[in-house]
Amino acid sequence: MGVDLIDADQLLLDESAEPPLSPRDAAARDRVWEAAMRANPDLFDGLVVACGGLDWAGTRILRLTWVRVTYRHYALRRVPGATALPSLFVNVVQPTTDGRLLVARMSPSTAAPGRWQLPGGSVEPPRDGEVLDESALAGQAARELLEELGIGVAVEALKLWVVTRGENSSVGLTYLAPALPEAALRVGFTAAAVADRAQGRAPELDEMALVRSPAELAGLAGPHADYLDPIVRRYCVSR
């Protein structure tokens, strides 16, 4: 399956309820999740946002329906006959001042060990009294950049660059960050890993690379996120 790149000037967000699940599918989902937990005890069943729908509300205005679930929900992908909602995530295109693009490798303790991708993560639901809107999504992207790369960036400096729809119909909101020198990125990446280990956590990312072209990206050994090549290609064309 290919990856769709969707250009939008504005996002409208509406919350919807999780679709009902039959007792049979719920029990099968739980069995799959528990097996995954035994294989990787670092997995956790935290709250997360899934995509309930994506359609156009007007010219370049994209309506995104979101649903509160937990990570256990995605175990439905491995239940025959069941339907899982697509995942929803934010990620960040972080360029260098000399025109390269940062990509990072997931560590062995994650759900996708060894996978090259952009810094980012699943969208989290808003806390009580808060809303999930464009500003909140950009804030989550900024937090991922700080936690994973040790790079602080103002929320208003992140611009929604493209929306992707790929594997399992997953939806990615890709933000463009201001360019930084390579040295600053490497210092930040190292500092973020040190901070994680100091708190007894394994870093989510274990290596970073800077690529100038799809050919350089292809030279990185290991699996790649399905959106990565199309994003790198678009970035190279847009420079």
Cα gap 52→47, rounded to integer Å: 15
pTM: 0.94
| C-alpha torsion 188→194→196→197, nearest 10 | 160
For 6-238, the fitting CATH number among 1.20.140.10, 1.10.3720.10, 1.20.120.330, 3.90.79.10 is: 3.90.79.10
Cα gap 34→28, rounded to integer Å: 10
State pLDDT tens for residues 30-72: 999 999 999 888 888 999 999 999 999 999 999 999 999 999 9
Per-residue pLDDT, 238: 83
Cα gap 46→128, rounded to integer Å: 16
Q: What is the mean pLDDT of residues 81-110?
A: 95
> Do 41 and 92 form a contact (C-beta atoms < 8 A)?
no
